[in-house]
């Protein structure tokens, strides 16, 4: 074989940071701190302190390939760790502090983390776990010495004290690009959380893809409010994409309520934001309550919605109230996460609002580097006809090949595809439509009812704040849909009114057999509907007529 005669540089996370510092050094990184005030730094500032992080970890004796953990909100210190830890060849394990303490203990033990960096808000949690975390030798509170928490935590240092003696410059090690860079655990709704171990190469290829116009379309003009926690699949890769493109980052800290987000959107002239639907429902409710005029006050142009399905009602509301486009995206921890984004193709050129909103109900299409397949229960590959739902399989450059330290065995099929656990259709022009998670599908008389479709239809009713459809036992049909609804404050909504609204909007045999109103619905640690808990809650529910 004749080799090409081009330069070869490994794709490394440190390279992203040096690029951002050199070309976009003055671009701001704005954080709402856990202490309260807004903090401002720049990509150059992040690079200097990331270098100090790398030196400090070396001084602490952490070896390349070892893991260090964070329990932290979105903020500049967490961003420094994203680059400083991985840049040094150490693996950044971003633990999700919203999980149960037993799950957190399980993950920190399983990952054998050597150092634990934590926001002071989590001091009580860390103190309660510390005696059992035998691998952790140093605890670092992300604060200055005067803010150190008064909690029984051994070998505790303040982050600022750790960084102070170190040099702000560094020659980043020339790692192999396939070296591990970060570790995220799935939230483990069934069984133990599973670790997904990203590499420098997968992270950079993912970031490149995100930056592209038909991905997230990120440019140096962007000011990005990251409402996705940095412990949820690396903040959907946004820290890396922003460094690559020179975008400004706005990191909201612990507060994702409507008022806190709105003030950042306005003050920081945010153009692009991303997060799960629950966050946006909160923002919408705040805007409506306060009678605000986001169209006049904000520069927001695009909202990336993922993690669970973006309901058409939300897409429409962003268009009408904010003058902003929703960018619907699909992904999971195992896919870094971006697998699809819903961007138009030539055939959609000139589409009106209604057609655009209809298109946005789709999770979109894959970029180069990601390939999908849908299969029947027997493994047969199903046609791309937009009508045959099947198991969604994926393979690509930023898709997991195995779980970290798992004896669960191979997770890929003979063709190298990973089963996502989702059920989807794919249209003839390549658009993915997730109908359900396999375990959430409502199986009625051998046919499948999409809980997502039912929920989306219900959310179109102006009196519905949130809705969840689950299958409950039925003696004849095996399962029939029960719709559990949170009504908007002040809405006089009845089951009859909602059923007649849904009639004609979904197939007749999909209409829920019953509708129950509740004050709130259970959510997971990443803000998604917790169907399993809901199914437990309604396990003995008797549908009318049974
Ligand atoms: P967890 O939900 O367990 O925290 P992930 O964040 O990895 O873990 O979740 C991935 C799952 O979230 C996907 O398999 C899919 O079921 C769901 N999901 C993500 N994005 C969307 C979307 N746009 N529409 C519908 N479901 C989605």
Report the distance separating Cα 491 and Cα 458, nearest Å: 14
Same domain as 521, residue 446 = yes
- 117 CA distance to ligand 1 middle (Å): 27
CA of 440 from ligand 1 middle (Å) equals: 12
518: CATH: 3.30.300.30
Question: To test the ligand 1 pocket, which listed residue (193, 330, 362, 421) has its Cβ within 8 A of the most ligand atoms?
Answer: 330
The closest-lying atom of ligand 1 relative to the alpha carbon of residue 528 is 2
CA separation, residue 189 to residues 115, 382, 452, 525, 528 (Å): 27, 28, 18, 10, 11
| pLDDT given at position 446 | 83
**Residue 388 lies inside a defined structural domain of this protein:** yes
| Most ligand 1 atoms within 8 A of CB, residue of 228, 230, 234, 331 to mutate | 331
Separation of alpha carbons 433 and 74, rounded Å? 30
Helices (H), 93-252: 101-110, 123-129, 159-163, 200-211, 233-236, 238-245
What angle do helix axes 238-245 and 13-23 make, rounded to 10 degrees?
40
Asked if the structure places residue 389 within a domain, the reply is yes
Are 456 and 422 found together in one domain? no
**pLDDT at residue 447 in the model:** 86
Same domain, 383 and 465: no
Residue 76 lies inside a defined structural domain of this protein: no
| Confidence (pLDDT) at 423 | 96
**Of 437, 463, 478, which residue is a domain's last?**
437
Same domain, 410 and 467: no
Protein residue whose Cα sits closest to atom 10 of ligand 1: 332
Query: Residue 375's domain is classified under what CATH number?
Result: 2.30.38.10
Domain that holds residue 451: 442-537
* pLDDT of res. 509: 93
pLDDT computed for residue 189 by the predictor: 62
Does 379 fall in a domain?
yes
Same-domain status, 456 and 389:
no
Domain end: 393, 409, 437, which one? Answer: 437
Kindly state whether residues 446 and 499 are assigned to the same domain: yes
Phi, psi of 513 (to 5 degrees): -75, -20
Collect the ranges in the chain with pLDDT lower than 50: none
Residues 412 and 453 placed together within one structural domain of the fold? no
Identify whether residues 387 and 460 lie together within a single domain.
no
The pLDDT tens digits of the residues spanning 42-69 come to: 999 999 999 999 999 999 999 999 999 9
Residues 64, 51: contact at Cβ < 8 Å? Answer: no
Pick from 336, 434, 439 the residue to mutate for probing ligand 1's pocket: most ligand atoms within 8 Å of its CB.
Answer: 434
Q: Is residue 465 part of a domain?
A: yes
Element (H or E) spanning 372, and its range? Answer: strand 370-375
Structure confidence at residue 525 (pLDDT): 84
381 and 419 both lie in a single domain: yes
Domain membership of residue 380 (yes or no) is yes
Torsion angle, alpha carbons of 509, 342, 458, 471, to 10: 50
457 & 430 share domain: no
CB atoms within 10 A of CB 103: 18
Q: From the CA of 306, how far away is ligand 1's center (Å)?
A: 7
Residue at 397 is within a domain: yes
Which residue's CA lies nearest to atom 19 of ligand 1?
Answer: 307
Q: Among 383, 403, 437, which residue terminates a domain?
A: 437
Residue 308 CA to ligand 1 center (angstroms) comes to 5
Structural domain count, the chain? 2
What string of DSSP letters covers 241-275?
Answer: HHHHHT-EEEE-BT--SHHHHHHHHHHTT--EEEE
**Beta pairing class for 223-226 and 138-141:** unpaired
Active site residues: 186, 334, 443, 448
Cα(221) to ligand 1 centroid in Å equals 29
The pTM assigned to this predicted structure is 0.95
Q: Specify the ligand 1 atom closest to the Cα of 420.
A: 14
Q: How far apart are CA 274 and CA 225, in angstroms?
A: 7
The answer to whether residues 516 and 475 belong to one domain is yes
Is the CB of residue 128 below 6 angstroms from any atom belonging to ligand 1?
no
């Amino acid at each position: 074989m004749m080799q090409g005669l081009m330069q070869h540089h490994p794709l490394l996370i440190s390279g992203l940071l040096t690029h951002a510092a050199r070309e976009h050094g003055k671009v701001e990184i704005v954080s709402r701190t856990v202490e309260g005030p807004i903090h401002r730094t720049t990509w150059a500032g992040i690079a200097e302190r990331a270098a100090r992080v790398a030196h400090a970890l070396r001084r602490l004796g952490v070896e390349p390939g070892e893991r260090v953990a964070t329990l932290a909100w979105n903020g500049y210190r967490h961003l420094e760790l994203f680059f400083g830890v991985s840049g040094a060849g150490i693996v950044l394990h971003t633990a999700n502090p919203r999980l149960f303490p037993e799950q957190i203990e399980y993950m920190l033990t399983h990952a054998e983390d050597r150092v634990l960096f934590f926001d002071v808000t989590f001091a009580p949690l860390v103190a309660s776990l510390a005696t059992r975390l035998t691998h952790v030798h140093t605890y670092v509170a992300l604060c200055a010495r005067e803010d150190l928490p008064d909690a029984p935590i051994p070998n505790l240092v303040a982050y600022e004290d750790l960084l102070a003696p170190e040099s702000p410059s560094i020659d980043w090690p020339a790692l192999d690009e396939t070296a591990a860079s970060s570790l995220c655990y799935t939230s483990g709704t069934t069984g133990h959380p599973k670790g997904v171990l990203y590499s420098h190469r997968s992270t950079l290829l993912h970031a490149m893809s995100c930056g592209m116009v038909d991905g997230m379309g990120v440019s140096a003009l962007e000011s990005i409010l990251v409402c996705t926690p940095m412990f949820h699949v690396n903040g959907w890769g946004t820290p890396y994409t922003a460094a690559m493109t020179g975008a400004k980052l706005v990191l909201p800290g612990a507060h994702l309520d409507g008022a806190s987000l709105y003030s950042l959107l306005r003050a920081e002239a945010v153009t692009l934001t991303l997060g799960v639907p629950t966050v946006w429902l909160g923002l919408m409710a705040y805007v409506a309550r306060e009678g605000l005029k986001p169209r006049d006050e904000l520069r927001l142009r695009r909202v990336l919605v993922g993690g669970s399905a973006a309901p058409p009602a939300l897409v429409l509301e962003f268009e009408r109230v904010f003058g902003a486009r929703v960018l619907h995206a699909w992904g999971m921890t195992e896919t870094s996460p971006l697998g699809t984004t819903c961007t138009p193709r030539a055939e959609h050129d000139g589409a009106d609002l209604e057609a655009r909103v209809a298109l946005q109900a789709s999770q979109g299409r894959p970029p180069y580097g990601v390939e999908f397949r849908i299969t029947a229960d027997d493994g047969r590959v199903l046609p791309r006809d937009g009508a045959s739902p099947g198991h969604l399989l994926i393979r690509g450059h930023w898709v997991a090949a195995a779980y970290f330290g798992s004896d669960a065995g191979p997770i890929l099929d003979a063709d190298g595809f990973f089963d996502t656990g989702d059920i989807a259709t794919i249209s003839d022009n390549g658009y993915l439509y997730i109908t359900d998670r396999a375990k959430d599908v409502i199986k009625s008389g051998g046919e499948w009812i999409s809980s997502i479709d039912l929920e989306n239809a219900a959310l179109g009713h102006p009196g519905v704040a949130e809705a969840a459809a689950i299958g409950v036992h039925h003696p004849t049909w095996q399962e029939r849909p029960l719709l559990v609804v949170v009504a908007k404050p002040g809405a006089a909504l009845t089951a009859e009114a909602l059923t007649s609204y849904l009639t004609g909007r979904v197939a007749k045999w999909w209409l829920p057999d019953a509708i129950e109103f509740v004050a709130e619905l259970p959510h997971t640690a990443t803000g998604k509907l917790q169907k399993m808990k809901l199914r437990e809650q309604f396990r003995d529910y008797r549908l009318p007529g049974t």
